[in-house]
Chain A
């Protein structure tokens, strides 16, 4: 074919040049700039407690026991380095059982401190898997229910814990986009700072 040699030569040069510019120049330049100007954000938005890094503000982690606010259910055991979707289908029998168990467990756990709580009052996010497995937030309704338990166990006035919940609310993007949520790790750190368990 006429001109094939020329296309091959130009193509080879283009492949090499573009790979270097777009595959090294661009990402390394962005890395350099981000490390200088957005150091914390570019390295995972890590947060400290008692001088030690205890997690990322953006990555949910597992909380057990009655004295802490709990994250949403996770199919990945809150993995930050091997993520996958739960892939529970809308008409899945296993999905129905999972929600049923989560629902019963949530009511069982919180009912002793929030007598008014019934199945009907449980917010959806509390008993469904998040997408990432590490959703850092829970809904405000979910946090307000758990506040009863946390306040009771830690011996804090309910009003005080509720206002800590309010402080941990992250609003919508630009006030409009997405939904507000409560950052669980930051809320638990604030609790530990105010009324340490031990």
Chain B
């Protein structure tokens, strides 16, 4: 296991190394300052503003205006994406002649990609044309990521504001985030991946006559361009059904570490951006530490559990220990080139960050290894979390921690010099609770109704319970990974996807959960940003509770674990933990 821990340690060290430079870069992008790409991209940026007829520097928006622009923009894009998915038969670059997925599945997919979730009831290579993947989904991989980051930028401005009510300009944020951050990195990453064997073409699927004279059809398509932004924007929607475990998406141990690095780099670096914009790096590092502790703990637990193997394997007489030339462990649903260690890190990282790409099969994880994704999602994606979304959710927890800490010592709670009043704390409570509430309510509804249980693969067992709970937990947290047996779309693999039909209940419930659990918290966060922006800063005194020291980090951890545990502990016990504690099969 030493090699395993070494690669885990090196990976986290590399991520740590990028936090400061990328954090500074993003702060400059958010603040409209010059960066090294300005000479090249400045004219493009100004051209975009002229085209959009906006003047971001002059047109600061209060929280309501900011929210309105965001909602209008998202709504328009929802309609556009739905139309693209539904007119697939008319559009070009469809070598397999796929029909559009039915309306209910398209409703779910549209909501899923718009909300940075990328929950997929469909298998990409048997459902979508190259056109729909590029022109529909990949665009959302950029845009939904940019929206999440923009909301965070607005919140930080609200916290840092010394006067006035402006949170910045939504259109300006959108343009700068895509132009200076997402697009340049995506281009480089896509080329790196393509050089390593991630395919990038518009060819027909290839029909291969194999070495032994059989036939194998290989899916093709513009994968690298989508793979890069799928990870960098913490989206996670695979071009292929089996996502980043498919060799054409993730061909080697090297591309795997590149992909994990892409996932974590923005969420980790944003903590530094935050520290810089509020004028105290220690604040950023405090948040970073809380996140890092939870992520590393989850990774180690997953690795140890997966290395142990499963009851089914042990009862079958299989020895899962390491031997010369084999790592052993639970290799069911894992790829040899990643092995136990790299699969476990990927699992922890993708669920902590709200990405949802997978390089192994979650449904085949061990009980305790499988509990790690559940717990990460149970923390409402604040352990780094989705781009922007993770940190803005974490800051809600930070304000909550300040409030509870303030109650304990009997002081008026304040965060970075801003007094936290009744209105703010109400909004924070709503923002924190909306995701768990949505997740549990929808999972309960699906579990308790015949229409819901049609989607189960493992039936009425702890495994089936896990499938159902995880499906709604994942959609409510905008993560997108799955216990993949759970289905909302039956695809018989007929030519052109003939005979496929959706399971409307799962599709519609999921779609509503996706949209609600994304946009309600965004509105609460912007409202908090607006409330904080207008507040005067009071100087820190002796009685001020510090939010940049280890005490606060532990308080924050306590609050996160408490809220997560109180909300989800019973449910997680019934699923993965019950499986992990049992040595039996059922």
* Residues of chain A having any CB pair with chain B under 8 Å: 1, 3-4, 6-15, 17-19, 22-24, 26-27, 29-31, 33-35, 37-38, 41-46, 49, 52-59, 61-65, 68, 72, 78-93, 95-100, 103, 119-125, 127-144, 170, 172-174, 176-179, 181, 185, 188-189, 192
The interface residues of chain B lying within 8 Å CB-to-CB of A34 are 190-191, 194-195, 200-201, 224
Report whether B135 and A59 are in contact in the complex, using a CB–CB cutoff of 8 Å. Answer: no
The interface residues of chain B lying within 8 Å CB-to-CB of A29 are 187
Report whether B484 and A83 are in contact in the complex, using a CB–CB cutoff of 8 Å. Answer: no
**Given A31-B200, A119-B319, A124-B328, A17:B48 Cβ within 8 A:** yes
Return the contact of A120 from the options B143, B208, B319, B579 (Cβ within 8 A).
B319
Return the contact of A82 from the options B125, B171, B225, B584 (Cβ within 8 A).
B125
Complex CA gap A26/B125 in Å reads 21
The interface residues of chain B lying within 8 Å CB-to-CB of A87 are 333, 361, 363-364, 457-458, 483-485
Complex CA gap A142/B217 in Å reads 27
Some 26 contacts from A to B, beta carbons below 8 A apart, are A4-B68, A4-B72, A13-B53, A14-B73, A14-B174, A15-B77, A17-B52, A18-B178, A27-B134, A30-B222, A31-B222, A33-B194, A41-B199, A43-B203, A44-B199, A56-B247, A63-B212, A91-B310, A91-B367, A96-B585, A100-B317, A124-B330, A129-B332, A139-B325, A140-B325, A172-B7
Q: Is the interface of A mostly helix, strand, loop or mixed?
A: mixed
For A45, A90, A120, A132, the residue with the greatest tally of chain B CB atoms inside 10 Å of its CB is A90
Report whether B311 and A91 are in contact in the complex, using a CB–CB cutoff of 8 Å. Answer: yes
Closest to B71 in A: A7
Q: Number of contacting residues on B, CB 8 A?
A: 131
Closest to A60 in B: B247
Contact with A along B310-321 (1 / 0, CB 8 A): 111101111110
Return the contact of A30 from the options B191, B252, B579 (Cβ within 8 A).
B191
Report whether A84 and B241 are in contact in the complex, using a CB–CB cutoff of 8 Å. Answer: yes
Return the contact of A61 from the options B216, B255, B312 (Cβ within 8 A).
B216
Given contacts A53-B206, A59-B248, A65-B212, 16 further A-B pairs with CB under 8 A are A13-B53, A14-B52, A22-B139, A55-B216, A86-B333, A92-B458, A95-B332, A96-B312, A103-B316, A122-B319, A131-B361, A132-B246, A137-B336, A170-B337, A177-B10, A188-B211
**Given A31-B225, A83-B246, A132-B246, A43:B48 Cβ within 8 A:** no
The interface residues of chain B lying within 8 Å CB-to-CB of A59 are 216, 218, 247-248
Return the contact of B364 from the options A42, A57, A86 (Cβ within 8 A).
A86
Return the contact of B52 from the options A13, A68, A83, A179 (Cβ within 8 A).
A13
Report whether B336 and A30 are in contact in the complex, using a CB–CB cutoff of 8 Å. Answer: no
Contact with A along B84-103 (1 / 0, CB 8 A): 00000000000000000000
Return the contact of A131 from the options B77, B136, B334, B463 (Cβ within 8 A).
B334
Report whether A13 and B125 are in contact in the complex, using a CB–CB cutoff of 8 Å. Answer: no
The interface residues of chain A lying within 8 Å CB-to-CB of B330 are 90, 124, 128
Report whether B336 and A138 are in contact in the complex, using a CB–CB cutoff of 8 Å. Answer: yes
The interface residues of chain A lying within 8 Å CB-to-CB of B485 are 85, 87
For B7, B212, B458, B584, the residue with the greatest tally of chain A CB atoms inside 10 Å of its CB is B212
Report whether B195 and A85 are in contact in the complex, using a CB–CB cutoff of 8 Å. Answer: no
Complex CA gap A124/B316 in Å reads 12
